[in-house]
Structure 1
Amino acid sequence: MQQAIAILDSGVGGLTVVKEVMRQLPQEKIIYFGDTARSPYGPRAASEVRLFTRQIVDYLLQFNPKMIVIACNTATAVAIEDIRARVSIPVVGVITPGARAAIKTTRSGIIGVIGTDGTIRSQAYENALKMISPDIRVYSQACPLLAPFVERGLFHVDSAYRVVEQSLQPLIGKPIDCLILGCTHYPFLMESISQVMGPQVNLISSAEETARDISTILSQRALLTPSSEVPIHQFFCSGAPDIFKQIAQSWLREHISFLPVVWQVPHFI
């Protein structure tokens, strides 16, 4: 039986990572869990986010995955070491890959970071950036309105630009040359964020670099699935299944339109 890559998020944001994994590793089966009933994680206490992450990982372990991917910046910031201590399989987060991608991109050494309250409060990105390059200057900004906006499926509406502009106002005019989208929900708003920040600012999504990490780790451990395999992906959410399925199908259309997909709403909470 094909072992899956288990990917979890506070809601639909981790689908941005799923899309990139499907693009780079189309033969790999994915089991995704979006905690839509308890989203967003950003305003919650770190202890609560750790508890939720443990619950989801415990649920996903019944499927015998070969890897856990915490595709939520807030959960990565406060829970990844806890999860690594609890499981025997590789656990990948999204913060170190995002920081690494920004270091590769910046020319000025001045980087912006946007994220949830929890991610920004943790200083996880600033710490990761400075661990790679101690002289980096970082401007961080919490954007608590954006993830809930995406969760409601409103990222295509005209008002998206106004919400993004309001959220990013403190960063406009800062001497940054790249901006880390420190929440996996934010690539849904990439067009509006780019319009607000201008062409001189490169936007960094951790999804592509995270997928490379996944590929590298699986290859090193001889866990890559043969390219002849046709995966049957499974998607779980803890609430609002209709809007979750609508967003997922729209975002992943080209990757799942010809594949069998299982959609479920578990009752473990």
Structure 2
Amino acid sequence: MDNRPIGVFDSGLGGLTVIRALERTLPHEDLIYFGDTGRVPYGTKGNDTIVKYSEQIVRFLRGFDVKAILIACNTVSSVAFEEVCAQAGVPVFGVVEPAVEAAVRTTRGGEILVLGTSATVRSGAYEQAIHRYLPDAGVRSRACPLFVPLVENGHFAAGDQLAELAAHEYLDSFIGQGVDTVILGCTHYPILRSLIAKIMGGQVELVDSGCEMAVRAAVAMDERGLLTDREEPGRQNFYVSDYSEDFTRLAGVLLEHSLAGYVEKTNIEKY
């Protein structure tokens, strides 16, 4: 039994898809969320910068005496996972391995498409992990650099023309090419899930990397005796590096409940 909070971080709004999954799987846990909205996106930045940002965020989260840290960012999980683990001092969960295991279970013909940021695709983390499980798998990757800024600016409603144009640009060349499983290799991408599913077709399965991590983390923390014994709903606190009313509004849409009064700006550069 451990009543300390769980820390979750991402470059911006995308990690809220992990918060939503944790609300379902671990409803009694307190959650501390940090979204690096002032420096989003991470996927276009160099590895050294991504490591630096991640280490600052870990120092920030450790100030809350968190019992575990969930990296709700595929870019960080792909580029800086070992650095985060070395610094955290608590169990750390990333998105790559849970997503890969789910994709390997799901694929019928071994043809898997990984959608991710430029940094995630450049790292090769997903391809390497998939081939550990399925050496003969056909793995294709596509960087989708416009998806994150589109989501961060609220372009994810059904019928949004900008989102549709970007999605067709990234996905059309894979239609009818035998892909049966798509890994949504950025926690922003499930917000565009219905659009991606419409373009790829109903026969293609989509794997939500953030949701898979939340389930894995819940099981692992239970095994380690890290779950709370409280029966009341957990509390959530949200921190950002650049506050805007848009973040509160869009986060409320994604989580389906208001964040009013719960979002606080912090100077992450001082950590």
TM-score of the pair, normalised by structure 1 = 0.94
Number of aligned positions between the proteins: 266
Return the letter of the residue paired with 2:186. Answer: C
Structure 1 contact 16–184 (Cα < 8 Å) conserved: yes
Write out per-residue CA displacement over residues 147-180 of structure 1, whole angstroms, 9 at most, x where no aligned residue: 1100111111521222211122332232110100
Cα RMSD over matched residues?
1.6
What is the aligned-residue identity percentage?
41
User: Could you tell me how far apart the structure 1 residues matched to 2:186 and 2:75 are?
Assistant: 8
**SS in structure 2 opposite 1:184?**
coil
Q: Does 1:155 align with 2:162?
A: no
Structure 2 contact 248–260 (Cα < 8 Å) conserved: no
Q: Which residue of 2 aligns with 1:139?
A: 140
CA change 1:261–1:19 in 2 (3 A) is: farther
Instruction: Tell me which of 214, 232, 237 is aligned to 1:234.
Output: 237
Structure 2 contact 58–87 (Cα < 8 Å) conserved: no
1:229 Cα offset (Å): 3.2
User: Could you tell me how far apart the structure 2 residues matched to 1:5 and 1:138 are?
Assistant: 33
Q: Does 1:105 align with 2:106?
A: yes
Q: Does 1:170 align with 2:156?
A: no
Write out per-residue CA displacement over residues 40-78 of structure 1, whole angstroms, 9 at most, x where no aligned residue: 001100110000010111111100000011110001111
User: Could you tell me how far apart the structure 2 residues matched to 1:88 and 1:28 are?
Assistant: 20
Q: Does 1:245 align with 2:248?
A: yes
Structure 1 contact 7–69 (Cα < 8 Å) conserved: yes
Return the letter of the residue paired with 2:239. Answer: F
Write out per-residue CA displacement over residues 87-123 of structure 1, whole angstroms, 9 at most, x where no aligned residue: 2200000011111110111011110111000000001
Structure 2 contact 43–119 (Cα < 8 Å) conserved: yes
User: Could you tell me how far apart the structure 2 residues matched to 1:118 and 1:5 are?
Assistant: 26
Instruction: Tell me which of 212, 230, 234 is aligned to 1:209.
Output: 212
CA change 1:16–1:183 in 2 (3 A) is: same
Return the letter of the residue paired with 1:142. Answer: A
Q: Which residue of 2 aligns with 1:218?
A: 221
1:232 Cα offset (Å): 1.6
**SS in structure 2 opposite 1:63?**
coil
Write out per-residue CA displacement over residues 207-247 of structure 1, whole angstroms, 9 at most, x where no aligned residue: 33211211112111111112513322100111143111111
User: Could you tell me how far apart the structure 1 residues matched to 2:247 and 2:186 are?
Assistant: 17
Structure 1 contact 4–28 (Cα < 8 Å) conserved: yes
Q: Which residue of 2 aligns with 1:52?
A: 53
- Tell me which stretches of 4 or more aligned residues in structure 1 moved more than 6 Å: none
Write out per-residue CA displacement over residues 183-223 of structure 1, whole angstroms, 9 at most, x where no aligned residue: 11001111110111111111111133211211112111111
Instruction: Tell me which of 182, 185, 188 is aligned to 1:185.
Output: 188
Structure 1 contact 141–170 (Cα < 8 Å) conserved: no
User: Could you tell me how far apart the structure 2 residues matched to 1:268 and 1:146 are?
Assistant: 24
TM-score of the pair, normalised by structure 2 = 0.94
**SS in structure 1 opposite 2:262?**
strand
Superposed counterparts of 1:56-75, under 5 Å: 56-75=57-76
User: Could you tell me how far apart the structure 1 residues matched to 2:173 and 2:92 are?
Assistant: 34
**SS in structure 2 opposite 1:37?**
coil
User: Could you tell me how far apart the structure 2 residues matched to 1:268 and 1:163 are?
Assistant: 31
User: Could you tell me how far apart the structure 1 residues matched to 2:223 and 2:39 are?
Assistant: 35
Q: Which residue of 1 aligns with 2:43?
A: 42
User: Could you tell me how far apart the structure 2 residues matched to 1:226 and 1:210 are?
Assistant: 22
